Amino acid sequence: MPVDPNTLEPAIRDPKALRRTAIILLVVIIAGGIGIIMAYAKLTERQAMDPRPIFEGRLNENLGVVRQDGTAGGLLDLDGKVWLACAVCVNQPESWARSREVMARLAKHYAGNDQVALVCLTIDPDREPPEVLAKTAKELGAEVPKWWFAAAGQEFVQRYLKDKFRLGALPYQVDGKWVYNPKILVVDKNHHLRAGKNGKAVVEFDFDRAASWDAEGKNEGIDKKTNVETMEDVLIRTVDALLLEPKDNS
Residue 123: what residue type?
A: I
Task: Give 47's pLDDT tier (boundaries 50, 70, 90).
Answer: very low
Task: Give 12's pLDDT tier (boundaries 50, 70, 90).
Answer: low
pLDDT at 220: 56
With a cut of 70, say whether residue 156 has pLDDT above it: yes
> CA–CA separation, 219 vs 224, rounded Å?
10
Other C-beta atoms closer than 10 Å to the C-beta of 233 total 17
> CA–CA separation, 129 vs 231, rounded Å?
31
Task: Give 229's pLDDT tier (boundaries 50, 70, 90).
Answer: very high
Q: Between these two residues, 49 and 62, which has the higher pLDDT value?
A: 62
Pseudo-torsion of CA 34, 37, 43, 46, nearest 10°? -80
Q: Is 6 exposed, middle or buried (0-12, 13-18, 19+ CB in 10 A)?
A: exposed
Question: Model confidence over 175-187: pLDDT tens digits?
Answer: 999 999 999 999 9
Q: Largest Cα–Cα distance in the chain?
A: 102
With a cut of 90, say whether residue 36 has pLDDT above it: no
The DSSP line for 129-151 is -HHHHHHHHHHHT--TTTEEEEE
Question: Model confidence over 89-132: pLDDT tens digits?
Answer: 999 999 999 999 999 999 999 999 999 999 999 999 999 999 99
Query: To 5 degrees, how large is the angle CA 76–CA 197–CA 158?
Result: 35
pLDDT at 151: 98
- Looking at residues 166-180, what average pLDDT do you find? 96
Q: Between these two residues, 11 and 55, which has the higher pLDDT value?
A: 55
Task: Give 250's pLDDT tier (boundaries 50, 70, 90).
Answer: low
Task: Give 190's pLDDT tier (boundaries 50, 70, 90).
Answer: very high
- Looking at residues 130-148, what average pLDDT do you find? 98
With a cut of 50, say whether residue 39 has pLDDT above it: no
pLDDT at 49: 47
Q: Between these two residues, 222 and 107, which has the higher pLDDT value?
A: 107
Give kind and range of the element (H or E) at residue 110: none
pLDDT at 45: 45
Task: Give 221's pLDDT tier (boundaries 50, 70, 90).
Answer: low
The percentage of residues in the chain with a pLDDT greater than 70, rounded to a whole number, is 84
| CA 90, 94, 99, 105 torsion-angle sign | positive
- Looking at residues 48-59, what average pLDDT do you find? 81
